[in-house]
């Protein structure tokens, strides 16, 4: 029986545990201690911090792991790469993991690889800002290189804004430098991809669902993503170049893209599948379980990925989004109307009666996830709204 080491045991990794079980593999959970759903699914559990690169690499060697995987999680990628390097396993290398988790190294690799991306500069001190003002065009974005999501990211619309933005970014980061890049004005989308044995199996552009006054917080995705044939072709070409530029192999890939003045720009990418229902949507749209493909690729079975082009793809319209709360308090009563069995694939509540919930401000505040499919996006949107309306929560202590 092949042994699959899964880094993380949270809800983002549950699909990997279930997929490995279906494939007949032994699952080894590696995570800090906690009430994680993956622990109930794992055959063995080891308590290690995912930042413990050396410890995880040594554990993979000790147990004779045949593959190391993760999903929806970036912090374990350097440890994953180190484990693959030491044990000669398929998967991203340690060097590539470092590049894909450091925005400066990533931007440098993208530029070197001829990938279309925003112009940028490294900034480590306030004195660097004077040259940057001359070299780059405003608006500018200051970015922490070691944080995910929108953390440590600030927009300087004018010269007077740059120093405060730089200071806020440097306060947030654990590094002594950050990236400052030109702000691309346009509309954002995502892409999911997978590369196996040096060959990109697919590039799937995905529409983003966002929340907030400036649509700054990602809360879900939808398929199909519709755009001009030219833009779709650009996305495929730039994503493929980016994957090779930073050296990804034998992994899923999550990509953020900006469409600006008719051109597709790569914002960033990393060697794991994205969150916010992206695995579920990819599986529905393409008609196969993406978690199984990730696991099989990680243990060196490349057939699923290499035969992808020969599959009959249903391309089913679907939406996946986080369930949010506009109120705070303790849940007194939680009930869910019977969902439409033909179109609702998932209603997954992360909370229960007695749980404390917060008014939504960032992805950590989400209280559940829904996934629906349909004949087209209009039908999916209607069913998703009806499904969310059928979730009833009463709070003991409602707080504004």
Can you read off the two tokens belonging to residue 315?
């391309």
> Which residues lie across from 373 on neighbouring strands?
318
- φ/ψ of 214, rounded to 5, equals -115, 25
What is the block-wise mean pLDDT of the chain (400 residues), using blocks of 10 residues? Answer: 97 97 98 96 98 98 98 94 97 96 96 97 96 96 88 94 97 96 95 97 96 82 97 98 98 97 96 95 96 98 90 92 94 95 96 94 91 98 97 79
What pLDDT sits at residue 398? 56
Q: Cα angle at 293 between 288 and 294, to 5 degrees?
A: 135
Cβ density class 136-173: b for 16+ within 10 Å, e for less: beebbbbbbbbbbeeebbbebeeeebbeebbeebbebb
- The 3-state DSSP class for residue 367 equals coil
Residue entry with tokens 């917080």: 217
What pLDDT sits at residue 399? 53
Q: Which of 102, 99, 120, 124 is nearest to 111 (CA)?
A: 120
Q: Which of 184, 336, 322 is nearest to 256 (CA)?
A: 184
Between CA 178 and CA 142 the distance in angstroms is: 7
Q: 380 with 318: CB under 8 angstroms?
A: yes
Local structure of residue 337 (DSSP, 8 states): P
Between CA 202 and CA 309 the distance in angstroms is: 8
Cβ density class 327-339: b for 16+ within 10 Å, e for less: ebbebeebeeeeb
Just give the CATH number of 120-182. Answer: 3.30.1490.20
In the chain, where the domains are located: 3-89, 120-182, 187-315, 319-395
pLDDT tens track for 126-173: 999 999 999 999 999 999 999 877 789 999 999 999 999 999 999 999
Just give the CATH number of 3-89. Answer: 3.40.50.20
> Which residues lie across from 69 on neighbouring strands?
6
Evaluate whether 3-89 and 319-395 have a shared fold: no
Q: 243 with 270: CB under 8 angstroms?
A: no
What pLDDT sits at residue 364? 86
Residue 198: alpha-carbon gap to chain centroid: 21
Phi and psi based region of residue 50 (left: phi greater than 0; alpha: psi -120 to 50; beta: remaining) = alpha
> Which residues lie across from 199 on neighbouring strands?
196
Q: Which of 251, 284, 285, 255 is nearest to 268 (CA)?
A: 255
CATH class, domain 187-315, is alpha beta
Can you read off the two tokens belonging to residue 228?
């001009």
Q: Which of 137, 269, 127, 257 is nearest to 187 (CA)?
A: 257
Got the DSSP string for 226-266?
Answer: ---HHHHHHHHHHHHHHHHHHT--SEEEEEEEEEETTEEEE
Q: 319-395: what fold?
A: D-amino Acid Aminotransferase; Chain A, domain 1 (3.30.470)
């Amino acid at each position: 029986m092949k042994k699959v080491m899964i880094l993380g045991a949270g809800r983002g990794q549950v699909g990997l545990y279930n997929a490995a079980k279906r494939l007949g593999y032994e699952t080894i959970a590696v995570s800090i201690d906690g009430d994680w759903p993956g622990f109930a699914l794992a055959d063995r559990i080891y308590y290690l911090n995912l930042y413990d690169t050396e410890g995880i690499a040594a554990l993979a060697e000790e147990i004779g792991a045949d593959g190391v995987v993760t999903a929806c999680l970036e912090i374990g990628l350097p440890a994953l790469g180190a484990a693959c390097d030491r044990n000669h396993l398929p998967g991203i290398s340690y060097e590539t993991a470092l590049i894909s988790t450091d925005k400066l190294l990533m931007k440098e690799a993208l530029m070197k690889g001829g990938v279309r991306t925003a112009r940028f500069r490294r900034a480590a001190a306030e004195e660097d800002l004077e040259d940057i003002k001359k070299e780059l065009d405003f608006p500018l974005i200051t970015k922490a290189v070691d944080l995910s999501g929108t953390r440590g990211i600030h927009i300087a619309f004018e010269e007077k804004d740059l120093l405060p933005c730089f200071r806020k970014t440097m306060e947030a980061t654990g590094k002594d430098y950050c990236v400052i890049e030109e702000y691309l004005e346009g509309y954002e989308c995502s892409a999911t991809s997978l590369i196996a044995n040096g060959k990109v199996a697919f590039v799937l552009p995905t529409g983003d669902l966002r929340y907030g006054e400036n649509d700054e917080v990602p809360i879900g995705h939808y398929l199909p993503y519709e755009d001009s044939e030219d833009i779709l072709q650009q996305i495929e070409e730039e994503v493929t170049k980016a994957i090779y530029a930073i050296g990804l192999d034998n992994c899923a890939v999550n990509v953020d893209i900006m469409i600006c003045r008719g051109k597709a720009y790569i914002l960033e990418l990393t060697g794991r599948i994205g969150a916010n229902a992206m695995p579920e949507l990819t599986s529905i749209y393409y008609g196969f379980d993406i978690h199984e493909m990730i696991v099989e690729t990680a243990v060196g079975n490349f057939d699923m990925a290499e035969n992808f082009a020969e599959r009959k793809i249903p391309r089913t319209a679907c939406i996946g989004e986080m369930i949010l709360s506009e109120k705070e308090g303790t849940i007194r009563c939680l009930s869910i109307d019977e969902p439409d069995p033909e179109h609702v694939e998932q209603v997954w509540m992360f909370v229960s009666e007695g749980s404390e919930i917060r008014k939504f401000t960032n992805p950590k505040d989400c209280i559940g996830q829904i996934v629906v499919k349909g004949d087209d996006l209009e039908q999916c949107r209607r069913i998703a709204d009806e499904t969310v309306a059928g979730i009833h929560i009463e709070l003991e202590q409602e707080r504004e």
